[in-house]
């Protein structure tokens, strides 16, 4: 960015840091349609509408996702809490295994472990680097299933007393309303995400650790154990097969919305094409 542009941008905020944040925190990005060379993301599974994805692919339609400043701040808050859980809170317990990178010299400790049944290369957060630095950043490992063309990055791997072998870690931040909803029972979409990770990694259990954004101290943390469930995994596979079959053949999965006026349909860019046949 040239100096003239920097000066003009700074002038537009009239000396206000908050105005500058508002200008930069918003985002508008394109969402490409699926083709037969693409991959699905585990983190998108729970909120994904299979019919929407197939329609966008069939019509070669590139969708737009716009994040306004207020929503951008909510996302930033969640990312910050997630980082702290991973790198300091849980990372500092010694229960979180994975790959760590020194924040100063970038020396890496540990290595990805494709076979998690023999995961000796995964390590706890080091106490100090050879360079003397005591700050480390957790590096997530990617897992991909080529048959179903889906991949994702678990938040890490856990070793806990009383639990068999390694488990999958999933860290989530929630607002006050969502906290009441998931305090006793985890969010279904989060369970789907963990089940997908258990499928990709071959592990038998996972933990979802929630941090309530407005909570106080330890009361803001609550956890749920998710046991591997083959029926759930088969359901996930069935949905994925339907998506890729639709991308290849044009056959649309079932419509989840009952009308074009339902809340989800109102926000969907593919709603007109989706309900065209019912008009």
Q: Does residue 118 carry a pLDDT above 90?
A: no
Residues 70 and 77 sit within 8 Å (Cβ to Cβ)? no
With cut-offs at 50, 70 and 90, classify the pLDDT of residue 110: very high
- At 65-75, the pLDDT tens digits run 999 999 999 99
Task: Please give the Cα distance from 18 to 116 (Å, whole number).
Answer: 45
Mean pLDDT of the chain: 92
DSSP 216-234: -GGGGEEEEEEE--HHHHH
Question: What six digits make up the tokens of 53?
Answer: 């994805």
Q: Does residue 220 carry a pLDDT above 80?
A: yes
User: In this prediction, what percent of the chain has a pLDDT beyond 70?
Assistant: 95
- At 5-41, the pLDDT tens digits run 766 666 666 778 899 899 889 888 899 999 989 999 9
pTM of the shown model:
0.90
Which of 127, 209, 132 has its CA nearest to residue 168? 209
DSSP 48-97: --HHHHHHHHHHT--EEEEE-HHHHHHHHHHHHHHHHIIIIITGGGT-EE
- At 129-165, the pLDDT tens digits run 999 999 999 999 999 999 999 999 999 999 999 999 9
Residues 271 and 260 sit within 8 Å (Cβ to Cβ)? yes
Length of the chain: 279
């Amino acid at each position: 960015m040239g100096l003239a542009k920097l000066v003009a941008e700074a002038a537009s905020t009239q000396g206000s840091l908050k105005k500058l944040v508002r200008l930069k925190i918003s985002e508008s990005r394109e969402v490409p349609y699926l083709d037969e060379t693409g991959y699905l993301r585990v983190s998108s599974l729970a909120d994904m509408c299979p019919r929407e994805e197939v329609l966008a692919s069939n019509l070669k339609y590139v969708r737009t996702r716009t994040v306004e400043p207020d929503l951008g701040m909510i996302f930033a808050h969640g990312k910050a809490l997630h980082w702290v859980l991973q790198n300091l809170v849980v990372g500092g317990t010694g229960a979180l295994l994975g790959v760590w990178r020194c924040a100063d010299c970038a020396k890496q400790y540990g290595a990805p472990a494709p076979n998690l049944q023999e995961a000796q290369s995964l390590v706890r957060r080091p106490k100090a680097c050879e360079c003397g630095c005591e700050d480390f950043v957790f590096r997530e490992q990617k897992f991909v299933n080529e048959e179903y063309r889906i991949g994702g990055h678990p938040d890490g791997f856990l070793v806990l007393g009383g639990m068999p072998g390694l488990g999958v870690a999933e860290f989530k931040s929630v607002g006050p309303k969502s906290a009441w909803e998931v305090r006793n029972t985890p969010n279904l979409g989060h369970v789907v995400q963990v089940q997908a990770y258990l499928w990709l990694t071959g592990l038998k259990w996972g933990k979802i650790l929630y941090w309530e954004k407005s909570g106080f101290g330890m009361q803001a943390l609550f956890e749920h154990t998710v046991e591997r469930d083959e029926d759930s995994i088969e359901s996930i596979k069935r949905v994925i097969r339907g998506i890729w079959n639709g991308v290849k053949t044009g056959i649309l999965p079932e419509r989840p919305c009952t009308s074009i006026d339902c809340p989800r349909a109102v926000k969907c860019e593919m709603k007109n094409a989706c309900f065209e046949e019912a008009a």
